[in-house]
């Protein structure tokens, strides 16, 4: 009995310690079982308390009356499945007649504290079937992407969503994206993580970093082209437009051949081309975009107009040619001059880190997901890296990228330097390669020769 007590105290102490210091480990060791039991045991009463039950059917009442049995109580939605995950529980329920997925969505906060979970969200899978995703702890506090997250050439995991799901950057679904945020809000860390993920994929990376290359230059081994000032950015963007036009020519040539062949696929973009003909997709990463739009003289104004025109052309036509834009900045509104709102309309993937004012949040979401504006303004200063991500479908979620240091990103780029494709149009912009080991070799002391 004594031993049993000692073991019990030790287990409770270990659980308490894990819950306090390592909530993810606590969840996987104790939390998931306790929360699963709690949900199953309390399910009926919680649903009743949250107003998610319906009165019993009339035939049940009649049967009970005829059989002199107790009157049946209200009925909660039927549980189809309760699935544990790495970060929480997923409960799938079948609604009773007269219930609506909106009723569940409106009760998520009540469900959250009634089930003792950290966060609850819901979505309708199909008519009458709702999935309730519950997280057991604050998954955005210390973010680690699951090693088994799916990866493909133009779809890589970049962050974790607050419901515990992995947030992907999928260039085929959302070709161009805009990432906004105040200074020190986590934009560079987000972009670094993205580069580190893309490094191992079959894509060409092109960087435009007007902070003199401070962000991109250390990762130059994996970049097919780099520009570190507005002058070279202008030329690089013009070269990218030429590359895009060449890819269109290739697609046209393939279409001419396949048009004469009965039943052959007719390509509409690079992904329809046979693999041996398909040009490598290009991801163009622009850091601090406002630097490209500012000018102080007439010549600089003309250069700015040419830069914005090239960006607009790439945004409008790049998707089919496999040229994708990833633009990053503190603000991106009409105050940056003509062409900006037109360009922004093409950047349909939006991510906003902490912003300083509502206007900046509106620049990110005002036109695509107005509900996300408030969420972006509420991101606290003490959680850099937390962001709100939305796309044209109008849905949004809070996300946080893992904390990728520049060293980790550089290591990933160096490891995959051999994957860097050479693009003929961009040959003039191949970056000067940093030395892998820049530490000078220590001077060799020569021992005095014995007489």
Ligand X SMILES: Nc1ncnc2c1ncn2[C@@H]1O[C@H](COP(=O)(O)OP(=O)(O)OP(=O)(O)O)[C@@H](O)[C@H]1O
C-beta closer to ligand X: residue 301 or 335: 335
**Residue 131, annotated ligand binder?**
no
Q: Which is closer to ligand X, CB of 153 or CB of 406?
A: 406
184 known member of a binding site: yes
To ligand X, the closest distance from the beta carbon of 126 in angstroms equals 35
Determine if residue 349 is labeled as part of a ligand binding site.
Answer: no
- Minimal distance, residue 88 CB to ligand X, in Å: 20
Q: Which two tokens stand for residue 97?
A: 């007649």
Minimum distance of ligand X from residue 219's CB (angstroms)? 14
Number of other residues whose CB lies within 10 A of the CB of residue 406: 14
Instruction: Catalog residues that contact ligand X under the rule CB under 6 A.
Output: 181, 183-189, 384-385, 400-401, 403
Which is nearest to 306 in space by CA: 244, 246, 233?
A: 233
Q: Which is nearer to ligand X, 89 or 289 (CB)?
A: 289
Q: Closest distance between ligand X and the C-beta of residue 104, in Å?
A: 31
* Cα 196 from chain centre: 14
Is 383 one of the annotated binding-site residues?
no
Tell me the C-alpha distance between 162 and 36, whole Å. 19
CB of 215 to ligand X, least distance (A): 8
Of the candidates 181, 202, 77, 76, the one whose C-alpha atom is nearest the C-alpha of residue 129 is 77
Q: Which residue has the closest beta carbon to ligand X?
A: 385
Inter-axis angle of helices 32-49 and 108-115, nearest 10: 130
Please give the structure tokens belonging to residue 243: 């590359």
- Enclosing H/E stretch for 323: strand 323-329
Q: Is 181 annotated as a binding residue?
A: yes
152 is in an annotated binding site: no
C-alpha span between 76 and 93 (Å, rounded): 9
How far apart CA 30 and CA 33 sit, in angstroms, is 6
Closer to ligand X by CB, 108 or 383: give it. 383
Closest approach of Cβ 353 to ligand X, in Å?
Answer: 6
Q: Which is nearer to ligand X, 127 or 212 (CB)?
A: 212
| Residues 319 and 247 sit within 8 Å (Cβ to Cβ) | no
Count the Cβ atoms, other than its own, within 10 Å of residue 22.
14
359 carries a ligand binding annotation:
no
Alpha-carbon distance of 266 to 342, in angstroms, equals 31
**Residue 188 is labelled as binding a ligand:** yes
Cβ closer to ligand X: 215 or 234?
215
Please, what is the minimum distance in Å from the beta carbon of residue 201 to ligand X? 21
Place of tokens 């939390």: 31
Rounded-to-integer distance, Cα 389 and Cα 166, Å: 12
| Residue with Cβ nearer ligand X (93 or 327) | 327
Rounded Cα distance, 275 and 359, in Å: 45
Known binding residues: 181-188
Q: Which residue ranges are tagged as binding site for ATP?
A: 181-188
């Amino acid at each position: 009995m004594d031993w049993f007590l000692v073991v019990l105290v030790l287990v409770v102490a270990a659980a308490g310690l894990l819950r306090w210091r390592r909530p993810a480990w606590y969840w996987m060791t104790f939390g998931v079982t306790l929360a699963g039991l709690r949900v199953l045991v309390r399910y009926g009463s919680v649903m009743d308390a949250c107003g998610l039950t319906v009165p019993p059917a009339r035939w049940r009442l009649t049967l009970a009356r005829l059989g002199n049995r107790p009157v049946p109580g209200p009925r909660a939605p039927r549980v189809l499945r309760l699935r544990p995950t790495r970060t929480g529980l997923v409960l799938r329920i079948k609604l009773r007649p007269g219930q609506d997925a909106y009723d569940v969505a409106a009760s998520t906060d009540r469900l959250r504290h009634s089930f003792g979970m950290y966060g609850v969200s819901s979505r309708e899978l199909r008519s009458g079937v709702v999935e309730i995703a519950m997280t057991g702890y604050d998954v955005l506090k210390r973010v680690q992407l699951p090693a088994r997250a799916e990866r493909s050439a133009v779809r890589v995991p970049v962050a974790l969503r607050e419901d515990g799901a992995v947030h992907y950057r999928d260039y085929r679904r959302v070709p161009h994206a805009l990432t906004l945020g105040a200074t020190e809000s986590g934009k560079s860390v987000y972009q670094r993580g993205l580069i580190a993920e893309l490094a191992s994929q079959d894509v060409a990376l092109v960087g435009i970093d007007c902070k003199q290359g401070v962000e991109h230059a250390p990762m130059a081994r994996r970049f097919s082209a780099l520009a570190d000032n507005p002058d070279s950015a202008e030329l690089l963007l013009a070269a990218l437009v030429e590359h895009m036009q060449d890819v269109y020519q290739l697609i046209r040539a393939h279409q001419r051949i396949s048009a004469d062949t009965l039943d052959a696929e007719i390509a509409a973009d690079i992904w329809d081309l046979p693999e041996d003909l398909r040009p490598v997709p290009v991801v163009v990463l622009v850091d601090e975009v406002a630097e490209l739009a500012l000018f102080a003289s007439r010549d600089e104004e003309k250069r700015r107009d040419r830069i914005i025109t090239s960006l607009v052309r790439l945004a409008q036509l790049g998707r089919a040619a496999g040229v994708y834009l990833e633009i990053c900045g503190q603000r991106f509104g009409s105050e940056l001059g003509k062409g900006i709102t037109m360009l922004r309309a093409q950047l349909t993937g939006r991510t906003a880190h902490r912003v300083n004012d509502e206007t900046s949040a509106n620049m990110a979401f005002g036109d695509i997901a107005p509900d996300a504006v408030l969420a972006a303004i509420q991101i606290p200063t003490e959680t850099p890296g937390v962001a709100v991500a939305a796309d044209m479908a109008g849905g949004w979620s809070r996300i946080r990228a893992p904390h990728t240091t520049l060293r980790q990103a550089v290591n990933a780029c160096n490891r995959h330097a051999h994957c860097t494709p050479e693009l003929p149009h961009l040959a003039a912009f191949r970056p000067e390669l940093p030395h892998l080991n820049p530490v000078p070799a220590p001077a060799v002391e020569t021992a005095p020769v014995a007489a």
